[in-house]
């Protein structure tokens, strides 16, 4: 079965620090890749997605992610985090036409 | 534009009680999904419906049943609730099961005592 691994359970950063959250998946074929964010008390919202083309994908709120096929990775980055980025971040993979498989999430806490 | 609407938002049940979680979308999406979210476990797929008239089991289907009532509505039923089903439940939909993003409802927080 497909699986998605997010390496960090909880990340604590100071404002203006750079962020990189790791995501690896186990499926060997063509996949669609997503990062979702869940702000406290809210439902999941799409940050960015990769289907094909340029492996460097830019999303909302200054986030970007790079798809590295050889490493089965889709890491999320942001050059300078803000307090408002405090949330839980989920990587998700959709192999072909099957439902999305989510990672266990990474909780990001940004402190002033 | 309502998107994906779930009811109820909160529910407390006693062990053995039954209930149905309702979900409706107004975006003419073909595929609908039920996930549960537990701390440290991420989102796990319970059941999904790739298109009207079809339903399939996901990763954690035991103790649940679903009905795709029509293209808009996809309900999740707990026949005999257990404490292990205490969770936050999210309904989601997307137009195309192949590569479209998911749209999520606001969730149902369920506690089973």
Question: Is pLDDT at A28 greater than 90 in this prediction?
Answer: no
Smallest Cα–Cα separation from B66: which of B84, B82, B79?
B79
The answer to whether the Cβ–Cβ distance between A103 and B42 falls below 8 Å is yes
Confidence of residue A106 (pLDDT cuts 50, 70, 90): very high
- Which two three-digit tokens encode residue B68? 């795709």
Put simply, whether B88 touches A (Cβ < 8 Å) is: no
Closest to A71 in 3D by CA, of A104, A112, A33: A33
Q: Which pLDDT score, from 0 to 100, does residue B37 have?
A: 94
Give the pLDDT of residue A74. Answer: 97
Percent of chain A with pLDDT over 70: 99
Residues of B in contact with A94 (CB under 8 A): 99
By the CB < 8 Å criterion, does A59 face chain B?
Answer: no
Residue A95: per-residue pLDDT:
80
For B92, other C-beta atoms within 10 Å of its C-beta total 27
A48-89 pLDDT per residue, tens: 999 889 999 999 999 999 999 999 999 999 999 999 999 999
Give, as one character, the DSSP assignment of residue A11. E
State whether residue B11 is helix, strand or coil.
strand
The answer to whether A102 contacts B42, with C-beta atoms less than 8 Å apart, is yes
> Does the structure show a pLDDT above 70 at A112?
yes
Contacts of residue B104 in chain A, CB cutoff 8 Å? 43-45
Kindly list the averaged pLDDT for each block of 10 residues, start to end, along chain B of length 113.
90 96 95 93 93 93 96 96 96 80 92 96
Residues in Cβ contact with A107 at an 8 Å cutoff, skipping those fewer than 6 apart: A9, A10, A11, A87, A88, A89
Cross-strand partners of A105: none
Model pLDDT, residue B1: 63
Of the candidates B40, B45, B104, the beta carbon closest to that of A99 is on: B45
CB atoms < 10 A from the CB of B38, how many? 14
CA distance B51 to B112: 31
């Amino acid at each position: 079965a497909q699986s998605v691994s997010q390496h960090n359970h909880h990340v604590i950063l100071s404002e203006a620090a750079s962020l990189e959250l790791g995501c690896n998946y186990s499926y060997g074929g063509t996949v669609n890749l997503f990062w979702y964010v869940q702000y406290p008390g809210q439902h999941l919202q799409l940050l960015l997605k990769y289907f094909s083309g340029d492996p460097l994908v830019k999303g909302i709120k200054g986030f970007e992610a790079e798809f590295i096929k050889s490493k089965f990775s889709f890491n999320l980055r942001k050059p300078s985090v803000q307090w408002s980025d405090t949330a839980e971040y989920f990587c998700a993979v959709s192999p072909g036409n099957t439902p999305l498989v989510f990672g266990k999430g990474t909780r990001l806490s940004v402190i002033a | 534009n309502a998107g994906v609407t779930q009811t109820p938002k909160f529910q407390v049940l006693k062990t053995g009680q039954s209930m149905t979680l309702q979900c409706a979308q107004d975006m003419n999406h073909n595929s609908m999904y039920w996930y549960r979210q537990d701390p440290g476990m991420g989102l796990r797929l319970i059941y999904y419906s790739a298109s009207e008239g079809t339903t399939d089991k996901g990763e954690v289907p035991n103790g649940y049943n679903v009905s795709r009532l029509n293209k808009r509505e996809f309900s999740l039923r707990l026949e005999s609730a257990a404490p292990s089903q205490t969770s936050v439940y999210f309904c989601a939909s997307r137009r195309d099961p192949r590569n479209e993003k998911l749209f999520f409802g606001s969730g149902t927080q369920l506690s089973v005592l």
